[in-house]
Amino acid sequence: MSLETKKYSDVANEIVNDAAHKIGSRLPGSEGEHKFHDYMADKLREIGITPHKEEFAVSPRSSIGGIPYAGYFGLIMSALVYFALNNAYIWFGMALAGICFVIWLVFSCFLYKTWFDMFFPQKVSCNTYGELLPEDGNYNYTIVLSGHTDTSWCWRHSEHAYRHKDKPIVGIIATYGKVGFGAVCVFLLVGIAIFMSIFYGAQILSTTFGLDESGYAFAAEWASKMYTWANNIKNSTSFNVFNTCLLILPLITAIGSSFVIMWNDPHEENASRGAMDNATGIGLSYAVIKYFKENPDKMPKGARIIDLNVGSEEAGLRGSMYFAKEHKMENCWNINIDSVADKDYFEVVIKDDWQMCRFDKDLEQMFKDTFAEMQIESKTKGCIHNPVGGCDSTPMTRAGIKSVTFAAQNPILTYYYHTWRDMPERFEPETVEKGLDVVLGVIDKIGKFQEQNGFNGVNH
């Protein structure tokens, strides 16, 4: 870190501290999130860049914010088991509800589809961005520096693992063992409801077609097979044991479902303060554009720089989806910065596994080369996949923008991830300083790449 860039990393760290201490939690669409956008808009004005604010509707509880609903669903299903044991028709309603629930959970909470947003309460979120043009106003390509302004609901089980912070393996078991058990309980109830519906449905259909005298031989033969199958199961010892277990199982699944309900703390005052995730990304993006604003001779030739403060990432990447849809930008690079705090884990995120999206290989190599030049040694070898959820590089990549996500975060979900313990006192300011040098080094490589090759599109 040179004296020339030190003052800019100080600005980034100031933003991190103000975000965590003065603004606090910033749930998607909340007053806190809007305050942070206003704060960053003022920051852009301070350096002579006009901020642009674009609002969009978001349904925070239709994505990961709605995970506690899965727990409530499990509790209801647990109670209905006792009624279904006395009225077989209830199993059909439970199975239908279970299938609808799984479709919502997979596509909305895991794959971040917007299909179900209309069924949940909506709020207004926003993106705030400013652009820096070359001195002559002409540019050939764009570099977007992005970070998300919002924070997550407090993950209670993660926060509870704080008492095991010196024994991370114990913390992981204590935290995700409970959640994993709860998830198994909920999906088990859905599976049981579907099985019982098939079983009783086979009995009903076989009886109906077996008594039919209209001459449908194929239907009668099919009904006979269904009847034999259902009757064999009904008279088996295993099925009798299974029915006995159903008298006890709902008590166990109710406990597991309660663990899922506890996953997201619903109270805004307990939400993550978001120092690492992701005031660091916001601070670094701003520090870069401030650096180039005050040092125009350092800007890559022919480049436009955009500082993009993205809203509602924690609600399913809604802000970056909106930006990518509204701004059809050709010849565009995106350095998405998300969580730069853990000095032993500098890395480039190259893929969202759940979103099935591979990011740009050219940018990936630029980051790896920069790590090597700076002699940064990382426990993740400088490269990871995002195993769950998603990051803002996915909508950008799908829009034809060359993008990767830069992070310095322990990929093991620890006590400070998505909890109110995500505070700036936990990590060293020097990590953010090093992050600024990394980003500036990559931007320099983008400029050289453009001069030599031009824009070559997303390289998967």
In the predicted model, what is the mean pLDDT of residues 109-123?
Answer: 93
Lowest mean pLDDT among 279-283, 378-382, 405-409: 378-382
How far apart, in whole angstroms, are the C-alpha atoms of residue 261 and residue 282?
31
Confidence of residue 351 (pLDDT cuts 50, 70, 90): very high
Q: Shortest CA distance to 303 belongs to which of 281, 288, 324?
A: 288
How far apart, in whole angstroms, are the C-alpha atoms of residue 49 and residue 34?
19
- What are the pLDDT digits (tens) for 356-393? 999 999 999 999 999 999 999 999 999 999 888 899 99
Mean pLDDT of the chain: 91
Name the CATH topology of 3-59+125-153+271-453.
Aminopeptidase (3.40.630)
Tell me, what amino acid is at 416? Answer: Y
Handedness of CA 271, 277, 279, 282 (dihedral sign): negative
Q: Shortest CA distance to 168 belongs to which of 313, 353, 342?
A: 342
How far apart, in whole angstroms, are the C-alpha atoms of residue 43 and residue 48?
9
Q: Answer whether 0.75 is exceeded by the pTM.
A: yes
Phi, psi of 114 (to 5 degrees): -95, 10
- What are the pLDDT digits (tens) for 146-200? 999 999 999 998 898 888 888 878 877 877 888 899 999 999 999 999 999 988 8
pLDDT of amino acid 215: 46
pLDDT of amino acid 204: 75
Between 439 and 220, the higher pLDDT residue: 439
Q: What percent of the chain clears pLDDT 90, i.e. is strictly above it?
A: 76
Domain boundaries defined on the chain: 3-59+125-153+271-453, 66-111+172-261
pLDDT of amino acid 355: 92
